[in-house]
Amino acid sequence: MELVSHEPATGAEIWRGAAGNVDHAIERARDAMRDWARLPLAQRVELMRRFANTVRKHADDFAELIAREAGKPLWEARTEVEAVIGKVDISVTAYAERTGQKKLNSALQGTAALRHKPHGLMVVLGPYNFPAHLPNGHIVPALIAGNVVIFKPSEKTPAVGEFLTRCFHEAGVPEGVIQCIHGAVDTGQALVEHDGVDGVLFTGSARAGIAINRKLATNPGKIVALEMGGNNPIVVIDTPKLQDAAVTIVQSAFTSAGQRCTAARRLIVIDSMFDAMVAEVKQLAERLIVDEPFADPQPFMGCVIDNAAADLMSESFVALMGRGGKPVMHMKRPDEKLPFLSPSILDATDISNRPDIELFGPLLQVIRVADFDEAIKEANNTRYGLSASLIGGGPQDFEIFWHEIRAGIVNWNRPTNGASSAAPFGGVGLSGNHRPAAYYAADYCAYPVASTEMEQPRATIGVGLK
């Protein structure tokens, strides 16, 4: 099957290629597995550092490709390339801290040791919104730990996935150790189900993650890390800093055209702050530049990934209005042939049974509540639990918020997005399966092995002998 990738901002073809052969890729990976796992850790780390230098050498071309294929502004694509480079040092430190070796010596009982082993062959299924950084966040820790990797990029960003993989090869990582295989849903399913795969590391939608979890429910021997989405709340209580709060909200909701799993989907504001806060957010959102990736001046937002995504977002905005939502800023689409959408805001206060779904685009629902207690209750009114932020209040308020909110990332006077790679990244509920990524990725890339060891056998039976 032939696959074609188009630039969302222009519609121009950017890449064309064939779907990969799953059986062949797995056979090749397993052939490379033993030698890679037995390579000294220091050599694997050195190869990862060479990879970082290779990406640095190609940074301009890499950023341009990400901008073209994902439709994001060039400035944002450059930050993604920097994150790819920075992941190496963070992963090296995390592996040493999270999977370190220990030995306890006893003259009579020998040595008790703790070491870690790689799982074997890991499949990495990548998303389109951060087509380099997010899969790389699985790949680098997996390779450091001694695993081999088959990487299937999103079928919407295959060119970026191929470029990332070539950087590993150029740095000297053997081609059997990290492979890029292209394909659609059926290719991903074949990789997940294959008996030759020892682990699945996934970033994407809750729907796809649940399907993977269900498929592997009877196979506990296969490690599964699911990094899924969120219906993330940002809560505003008393604050005199309206402009700063508005900037934080706009960054949370509209960076990457709302295509971040940590994007704020719901703005929950106490009644006394509601009118002033929503007006400030609207005023700022109306100033945001939406344009193609290389426009001058640089836009704040690019387009969403494709026309199907733009259609879904437009239809969702209309559907929410039909259920009682009141438009604060209408969603506009200047060209029906291209997936550019304006930032949009909708007052969802009067919508009963608000849909608990991740609307993956530049749509912010605002909800008026009476007080802080009701705000927390509304914030937790979701099956997801990835990211949440509180704006305003004092330390005691944040202490309450931190304790009460169900989320893996809980911030105060900071955006819901932009999480640090030097911290764990993951959520609860439909946002993940308790396998946080980023700094904690080392935890699912190797498993602990306990040993008791003596150079010569020494044993006695002290009771029960005739």
Number of neighbouring beta carbons within 10 Å of residue 308: 11
CB-CB contact of 232 with 262 (8 Å) = yes
List the structure tokens of 62: 């890499």
**Regarding beta strands 344-347 and 326-329, do their DSSP bridges make them parallel or antiparallel, or are they unpaired?**
antiparallel
Number of neighbouring beta carbons within 10 Å of residue 162: 17
List the structure tokens of 368: 């008026």
List the structure tokens of 214: 């269900």
CB-CB contact of 430 with 387 (8 Å) = no
Residue with token string 């990862």? 48
Cα atoms in the Cβ-side hemisphere of radius 13 Å centred on 341: 32
List the one residue out of 176, 59, 86 whose CA is nearest residue 140.
86
Question: Which residues are identified as catalytic?
Answer: 227, 261
Cα dihedral 384, 389, 394, 398 sign: positive
**Would you give the end-to-end CA distance of the chain in angstroms?**
73
The dihedral formed by the CA atoms of 388, 94, 84 and 40, expressed in degrees to the nearest 10: -160
Tell me, what amino acid is at 116? H
List the one residue out of 128, 60, 78, 54 whose CA is nearest residue 304.
128
List the structure tokens of 9: 């901002």
> Alpha carbon 227 to chain centroid distance?
6
- What are the distances in angstroms from CA 349 to CA 274, 319, 324, 376? 11, 15, 8, 15
